[in-house]
Amino acid sequence: MNATTTPPTPRTDGLLPGWARVAAAALAVIAGLLTLLLFNSWPWLTPIAAGLAIFVLVTARRRGLAARACWAGAGVLLIAAIFIQVHYWYPTLAFLGIASAAVGLVALVAAIIRMFRRTLPRRRLAWVRLVGAGLPVLALTVGVVILGSYAVVAPASLLASATGAVNSSQPLQTPSQKTLSDGTRYFGDVQYANQYPNSFLDVYSAGDATEPRPTYVFVHGGGYIAGDKITGDIYASGEAPFAYYTAFVQAGFNVVSINYAFAAEYPYPTQLVQMGQAVGYVIDHAAEYGIDPTRLFVGGSSAGGQIAGQFALVQTDQAYAARIGVPAVMPAASLRGVVLGSSLLEPQRFDESGSPTIDWLWNIGGRAEWGIDYETSETAALASILANVTDAYPPVFLTDGNIASFSEQAIRFDHLLTAAHHDHVTLLWMDHPSPVPHGYEVDLATPEGETAFRKTIAFLRSHSE
């Protein structure tokens, strides 16, 4: 009697065919990485990345220990995804991005191995498995490094190094005094303090001045992690602002341009304290440079505008100065005005420029300056010019471009000042037919930059009497 045999049941490695597993895993990898890069520009990416990773996990296997591990991982991701919707916490968001990419990567490698294990030679399949085992370890290591550094110190340091930004107790150039071709007296790399690195400033004054002149103290931008008093903001358009400074001298104003220490090594409020030290030095040495210390203006571009704008808050609001623990260094009446060019006015909205690339860079600077959760940080909220301005604030000249900048913040600040009947001049380009980029106001080679300069000079003159 012949025994009947039952053919073996084909092994099933998951609930999806091979090509579908590969596609789902690849999408999880892409969504996870994009979440880390573009989460503020595209906030909908976070739940999509988490959903794809969960889908990959719950469809991976039908039974056994591996199935239980996949379901447990899916549960952790689901809890994290719900938590981030209820309460923003950046490490949770970083975990979701990294975990989604890692889950997708592991599933992608596993799916490819399963698809080709019967066709590849045994030796080559061994190498594929070895690589497949190494990739998850590599992904986990990278994730731990990113989370361990809070996605701040390492990226900020790398970006600063790439741009040549350093924290140094020595000036980048030899201190010098000379007369420029247009007659401007230039005092380079004057040390204004020694508490922090990069405590150097340049002074531009008139060579033929017979009496002290009003002076504009300018702070460069660079996301708090880069930039220079001569070369300017790495994120801004146009040429270095050297001609910008000398143009002020020709218009009747001295200029003081300052450097400051960079985050993340020297986070907030280091730069604000340094500006106070620089202005204090200018006041103490006013006679040496032909400066009238009773007619000072402060301003800056991008992050430098935020530093200068907050400095003005400290000088004109004693309660605010006491609250943040940074003392005033000059009489409020001597601060005649504030010039805010392409300036960050709401630090908690640092990376909402509308440009994913710029937002990613500024996100690094924001976390380096104010900490991992600067979007919800009380420290960053206290640094907001828009949220803390009072009637005692000096007159304001406010300008910004129309692409990849803080234009929306400038509009909100303009509405606030207008409603309060505060003395201010606003120059925005939202309806301009051509792109006007971030930091345009220091580039006098463009018609828009030249217009901003003329209006700035008119503003300074009207408040210098």
The verdict on residue 2 lying in a domain is no
What integer pLDDT is reported at residue 20 of this predicted model?
A: 73
Shared domain check, 193 and 317 = yes
Shared domain check, 226 and 126 = no
What integer pLDDT is reported at residue 66 of this predicted model?
A: 65
Shared domain check, 88 and 135 = yes
Shared domain check, 243 and 330 = yes
What integer pLDDT is reported at residue 6 of this predicted model?
A: 53
What integer pLDDT is reported at residue 341 of this predicted model?
A: 96
Report the domain count for the chain.
2
Which tokens in the block code for residue 145? Answer: 């490094």
The verdict on residue 162 lying in a domain is no
Q: Which helix (H) or strand (E) holds 20?
A: helix 18-38
Residue 271: partners with Cβ closer than 8 Å, 6 or more residues away: 224, 260, 261, 263, 307, 369
Strands 254-258 and 200-206: antiparallel
Smallest CA-to-CA distance from 324 within 313, 339, 337, 335 is with 313
CB atoms within 10 A of CB 134: 11
The verdict on residue 154 lying in a domain is no
- Give the C-alpha distances (Å, rounded to integers) separating 197 from 173, 234, 261, 271: 14, 20, 5, 10
Shared domain check, 266 and 359 = yes
Smallest CA-to-CA distance from 90 within 356, 367, 297, 290 is with 367
pTM exceeding 0.75 = yes
Shared domain check, 378 and 259 = yes
CB atoms within 10 A of CB 252: 14
10-residue averages of pLDDT along the chain (465 residues): 51 59 78 70 73 78 67 78 74 76 75 64 57 56 51 57 77 86 92 96 87 96 90 59 89 96 92 98 96 97 97 97 96 98 94 78 85 85 96 98 94 97 97 93 93 98 94
Shared domain check, 282 and 189 = yes
The verdict on residue 252 lying in a domain is yes
The verdict on residue 95 lying in a domain is yes
Q: Which helix (H) or strand (E) holds 394?
A: none
Judge residue 335's burial from the number of C-beta atoms within 10 Å of its C-beta, 0-12 exposed, 13-18 middle, 19 or more buried.
buried
The verdict on residue 10 lying in a domain is no
Shared domain check, 141 and 97 = yes
Rounded Cα distance, 52 and 29, in Å: 9
Shared domain check, 121 and 237 = no
What integer pLDDT is reported at residue 372 of this predicted model?
A: 77
253 near 243, Cβ under 8 Å?
no
Q: How many helices (H) and strands (E) does the chain have?
A: 16, 9
The verdict on residue 313 lying in a domain is yes
Shared domain check, 232 and 103 = no
Shared domain check, 188 and 70 = no
The verdict on residue 168 lying in a domain is no
Question: 133, 148, 163 — which closes off a domain?
Answer: 148
The domain of 98 spans 18-148
Pure H helices in 215-269: 242-250
304 near 219, Cβ under 8 Å?
yes
Shared domain check, 90 and 215 = no
- Residue showing tokens 């509405």: 415
CATH code (residue 180): 3.40.50.1820
